[in-house]
Structure 1
Amino acid sequence: MMRRSNSAVRAWRRALPLCLLPALLILLGAAGAQAEPIDLDADNAEIDNARGVSVYTGNVVLTRGPRRITGDRMTVHLREDDAGDQALDHVVVEGEPAVYNQRGGEDRRPIEAEAPRMEYYASGPERVILLEGARLTQGRNTFTGERIEYEVAADRVHARGEPETGRRVQIRLFPDDEDNGDDE
């Protein structure tokens, strides 16, 4: 009899995150407010609907369309959109490292980026800001610096060093890759 009770508890624990997922998607504005749904997976979640802020910890994974963001701690900030619904504003990610991946497409090379701290802004324009020592790989091209900003729609990279410490931006380009998305 004890065995059934333990397996029932294990089944309930596995089902609990699945039960929370619809509430999380509604909270994040995925129910029609944005074109791409948002999926979140974490060990722990604290959701404050009144403030529009959620904190996720423990192997956090956020997936939105071709983008995937991972880290140890993720703070999700919502805003009210024009229709009065909650929509994703920005996400602050901390990790060892925090990682951003974007699948490539017909006209885009894949993006891989990492830094100890990252900010993802869903609009105005959509962008990823990598802080405290960053690396971004676009196809075979690599960029390193203290701060890197990647504008998603424009496919534009801005990198900056840290003059006080003498750290400079380092870039390695493969010019042959510029005309196509094939990195092999």
Structure 2
Amino acid sequence: MTNKLAQLLVIPSLFVAYSSIAQSDLPAANQVSISADKQQAQLKSNVGIFESNVEIIHGARRITADRLEVHKRDKLGENKQLLIATGNPAYFEERQADGSIMSASANEVRYDVAERYLTLIGNAQVTQAGQKINAKSISYDMQQQLISAQKDEDSDDRVHTILVPVENKKTKSKGQP
């Protein structure tokens, strides 16, 4: 009887131990990984500059660019960071809660980390849930899910949006194409 009880206690405790080890091996959600061919830091002004073949990974976000400036600002005792990525184009992507990917690209991508605010300047494009917006500049408040796009004042090119119809799963299950 004690052998069966011991087996019943050992198996769950091994599972708990394994899962805690597996979780400790995972990178922390707040960990930021930046790789580039060149790095500089302006310590007095709290600016890090990364150049050539830049990639930053922070949780569910990934940015690739030719150049990245990381500005750290202290405001009201709270650390804030502004990431300015430039490239031809620079890319930003984030995995959403539903597993889909929101991607953005522009000549300049500005991301305010604390506010979750994305500003795209020059040949801007945002793709999310099959929808695509192209414009000269796009502002995206990711927290509020508000997006604003505008054309260049000196151009006839207007904002262009492509909407993809969402398939109804109920219709598909009834045997309709």
Fold shared by both chains (TM-score > 0.5)? yes
Say if 1:109 and 1:177 are closer, same or farther in 2 by CA, change over 3 A.
Answer: farther
Say if 1:177 and 1:159 are closer, same or farther in 2 by CA, change over 3 A.
Answer: farther
Considering Cα pairs closer than 8 Å and 6+ residues apart, tell me whether 1 or 2 has the greater RCO: 1
The equivalences for 1:169-184 within 5 A come to 169-176=159-166
Find the aligned partners of 1:47 and 1:68 in 2 and give their Cα distance.
Answer: 21
The answer to whether structure 1 residue 134 and structure 2 residue 115 are counterparts is no
Supply the RMSD in Å over aligned alpha carbons. Answer: 2.4
Find the aligned partners of 1:177 and 1:62 in 2 and give their Cα distance.
Answer: 34
Tell me what 2:72 maps to: 78
Name stretches of at least 5 consecutive residues in structure 2 with no aligned partner.
1-28, 169-177
Find the aligned partners of 2:48 and 2:96 in 1 and give their Cα distance.
Answer: 29
Tell me what 1:24 maps to: none
Tell me what 1:166 maps to: 156
- Which digits, 9 at most, give the CA deviation of each residue in 1:52-103, with x for residues without a partner? 011100111111111111100011100125557xx34201111111000111
Tell me what 2:146 maps to: 156
- Which digits, 9 at most, give the CA deviation of each residue in 1:27-53, with x for residues without a partner? xxxxxxxx7222111111101221101
Secondary structure at the aligned position of 2:166 is classed as helix
**Pair member with larger Rg:** 2
Find the aligned partners of 2:68 and 2:97 in 1 and give their Cα distance.
Answer: 27
Give the Å deviation of 1:173: 1.1
The equivalences for 1:1-184 within 5 A come to 36-80=30-74, 82-83=76-77, 87-106=79-98, 109-123=100-114, 125-176=115-166
Q: Hey, which of these two has a bigger chunk of strand by percent?
A: 2
Find the aligned partners of 1:177 and 1:82 in 2 and give their Cα distance.
Answer: 47
Find the aligned partners of 2:167 and 2:137 in 1 and give their Cα distance.
Answer: 24
Find the aligned partners of 2:91 and 2:137 in 1 and give their Cα distance.
Answer: 14
Aligned length: 142
Secondary structure at the aligned position of 2:143 is classed as coil
Task: Calculate percent identity across the aligned residue pairs.
Answer: 24
Find the aligned partners of 2:155 and 2:91 in 1 and give their Cα distance.
Answer: 25
Find the aligned partners of 2:77 and 2:119 in 1 and give their Cα distance.
Answer: 28
Say if 1:140 and 1:177 are closer, same or farther in 2 by CA, change over 3 A.
Answer: farther
Name stretches of at least 5 consecutive residues in structure 1 with no aligned partner.
1-34, 179-184
Tell me what 1:6 maps to: none
- Which digits, 9 at most, give the CA deviation of each residue in 1:119-154, with x for residues without a partner? 11112x211111011111002100000001121212
